[in-house]
Structure 1
Amino acid sequence: MSTDYIQSFTVCGIYQATHLLGEAATGSVWQAFNILSGLRVAIKTCPIPVDAALPALLPYEVKIYRLLRDSDSEGIPSIHWSGIDGNHQVVVMDLLSPNLNTLRRLCRGTLSLRTVCMLAEQMLARIQFIHSRGVLSGDIKPHNFALGCYHKARILHLFDFSHAQLFIDPSTGAHVPFRIGRNTKGTIRYASVAAHKSHEMSRRDDIESLLYTLLELFHGQLPWYELSKLRNEAAYDRIREMKEGPEFRDFLSESLPEFRSFHAHCMGLSYGQTPDYALLRSFFRERMHREGWYYDWIFDWEDGSASEKGTLIPDDYVFDMRFVERKALDPA
């Protein structure tokens, strides 16, 4: 579908779509608004499979969102409506800001260490929360994290659970057993080594994918970036070899000690073992403390002076705090 034109449609006669935000294998995402309240929302649509035997993708994702629904949690988008509209499966949810991959590009390809440390704090909190509900993301990457809008503009959200799965068996309460031959790769660039090998995934795999995500945000590119664009099994096998081999170890050796410590913890986890989220947070908190930085949640894309390269955001753009409710996010 082309993004060169505006296509307007309504869902349930209440939500008016205005333009396409993006497309993925699991559906299209549109910006829309509630014609009764004016509230801006996002609409994700997916054609109903012609073959009734094929799985319904969006209803599964909606079930994951509802499993994660919690009045005390933050950083997971709320679902406003879901169901069938015409010949599409539809879910209406909170509208988010541009994702971290887009914001990284606006910041000329890399983010400052200060911003990465603050992002790591919230990213680990989101991942720990979904794990506490027995859910694995299966697709941790910069594209699936975004700040909220309005009073949630300082809160990082984790979204897109189309690859999510339960690691706790609901009938027994036990961790699902280790198996091989599983199709659980997610996005190859950020996939864990176990996912490459088609092993059953556990919490350590989300944490490993988070490491690759943080490294890309900080360095701008992972060693296997070009290979990840080829989309063939030979390239995927080579990427796995690089993640396990000297190429990645050399890359880490030239990076920061926080990332090396993070990697060491990932590699030390056994299948089914609970990651030490507090330890992982401490790597970045200690760096913040040593540098004399504060968790003010002002990121590079708001304050271009935080990065030596500046940003690609126009100088006349104004981030007006009148439209943002500063919410306490003190990590201590």
Structure 2
Amino acid sequence: MLTGDEVAIKMEPLHVEHETNHPPTLAYEPVIYKLLGKPSVGFPSLLWAGKDHGNYVLILERLGPNLASLFKFCRRKFSPRTVCMLAQQMLARIEYVHSRGLLVVDVKPQNFAVGMGDNAHVVYLFDFGHSKLYLDPATGKHHPYVKNRSATGTAVYASIAAHRHYELCRRDDIEALFYVLVEFYCGDRLPWQGIYAPSYEAKLERTRDMKAGPAFRDFVAAHCPPELQAYYSHYTNLVFTQEPDYAYLKGLFVKRVKAEGWDNDAKFDWIDPSLLEKGTLIPEEYVVAPRFVDEVELDPS
């Protein structure tokens, strides 16, 4: 009302807690934003949080379209150059979250978006309703490895440990991002998307087995570029409490950009679609703007 700025407003009814016996995520998410502090770039500003007219309300800086929507507009195929540039920024956002003693938990394309206006080249990470601490704030020690935890995250991108209901660690965020980058690079569905199973539970089990089995390792070797193969090798060799080598992982994509002679200028495919074989789904006379973007809802499996 005072500035005329547009904002993003998330709302969740207060009665959800009484119906499900679980606290609404919007009652929890502001705590995560406060723990994140004030990062210099790549996270929306928290403008207000509280209760209003029977709802939990979260007001955030407004962002542009998310990467799932942009991926759809680019006909579900990003150029290798765009994948490399996205990977560097996405890894940097996850690295920052980890530096605050937190896990993202739900890493997926829908939770990354580009900024507005002068920040249209910046990739933002948002939606921390499933985030959790991996460091004990009192002792600074890594939480212990335990089994029989509740499964969290989105099944398509969830780590193998999440499928197995194990305690999560930093490796699991890195693994989930790998599945996102493979989807972006290969342009087709991940091997476990669209599979048949007689029930949702059976589908989850089959998805877990496919991620952990030799067929996916063969898929990575056959269809992924060297930088993604090296990424896969790195995270699969991490132990539970081990910190990922973020500089090494980001460097894999920087090396590819330099080797190809590409400009690392954040001019992504939806800004400059000349590198796409089939172009985009956006007519040339349109400019990428939120009013042309509908939220992409994925099947929960």
Q: Quick check: 2:105–2:172 contact (8 Å CA) kept in 1?
A: yes
SS of corresponding position for 1:91 = strand
Structure 1 residues 231, 128: closer, same or farther in 2, change over 3 A? farther
User: CA offset at residue 172 of structure 1?
Assistant: 1.3
- TM-score after normalising by structure 1: 0.82
| Post-superposition CA distance 1:44-92 (Å, at most 9, x none) | 000113555531321211110111121x521111111111110110000
Residue 299, structure 1, aligned to residue 265, structure 2: no
Kindly report structure 1 stretches of 4+ aligned residues shifted beyond 3 Å: 50-54, 227-231
Structure 1 residues 317, 229: closer, same or farther in 2, change over 3 A? farther
Out of 90, 109, 117, the residue aligned to residue 142 of structure 1 is 109
Residue 48, structure 1, aligned to residue 14, structure 2: yes
User: CA offset at residue 317 of structure 1?
Assistant: 2.2
Write the distance in 2 (CA, Å) between the matches of 1:319 and 1:137: 28
| Structure with the higher fraction of residues in helix conformation | 2
SS of corresponding position for 2:266 = coil
Structure 1 residues 263, 103: closer, same or farther in 2, change over 3 A? same
SS of corresponding position for 1:189 = coil
Out of 33, 52, 55, the residue aligned to residue 88 of structure 1 is 55
SS of corresponding position for 2:178 = helix
Alignment of 1:1-332 (within 5 A): 35-49=1-15, 51-52=17-18, 53-70=21-38, 72-220=39-187, 221-227=189-195, 232-254=200-222, 255-318=224-287
Structure 1 residues 118, 193: closer, same or farther in 2, change over 3 A? same
The one-letter code matched in structure 2 to 1:46 is E
Structure with the greater relative contact order (CA < 8 A, sep ≥ 6): 1 or 2?
A: 2
The one-letter code matched in structure 1 to 2:276 is S
SS of corresponding position for 1:186 = coil
Gaps of 5+ in 2: 290-301
| Aligned-CA RMSD value | 1.8
Q: Quick check: 2:16–2:24 contact (8 Å CA) kept in 1?
A: no
Structure 1 residues 48, 298: closer, same or farther in 2, change over 3 A? same
The one-letter code matched in structure 2 to 1:206 is D
SS of corresponding position for 1:297 = coil
Which 10-residue stretch deviates more, 207-216 or 249-258? 249-258
Paired position in structure 2 for 1:5? none
User: CA offset at residue 250 of structure 1?
Assistant: 2.2
Structure 1 residues 118, 228: closer, same or farther in 2, change over 3 A? farther
The one-letter code matched in structure 1 to 2:169 is S
| Post-superposition CA distance 1:177-214 (Å, at most 9, x none) | 11101113310000001111100000000000010010
| Post-superposition CA distance 1:191-245 (Å, at most 9, x none) | 0011111000000000000100101111122101113998711000001110011
SS of corresponding position for 2:60 = strand
The one-letter code matched in structure 2 to 1:174 is K
The one-letter code matched in structure 1 to 2:283 is P
Paired position in structure 2 for 1:326? none
Q: Quick check: 2:97–2:103 contact (8 Å CA) kept in 1?
A: yes
| Structure with the higher fraction of residues in strand conformation | 1
Q: Quick check: 1:223–1:247 contact (8 Å CA) kept in 2?
A: no
SS of corresponding position for 1:190 = coil
Identity percentage of aligned residues: 48
The one-letter code matched in structure 2 to 1:126 is R
Write the distance in 2 (CA, Å) between the matches of 1:138 and 1:49: 25
Which 10-residue stretch deviates more, 37-46 or 52-61? 52-61
SS of corresponding position for 1:126 = helix
Paired position in structure 1 for 2:299? none
Write the distance in 2 (CA, Å) between the matches of 1:312 and 1:267: 36
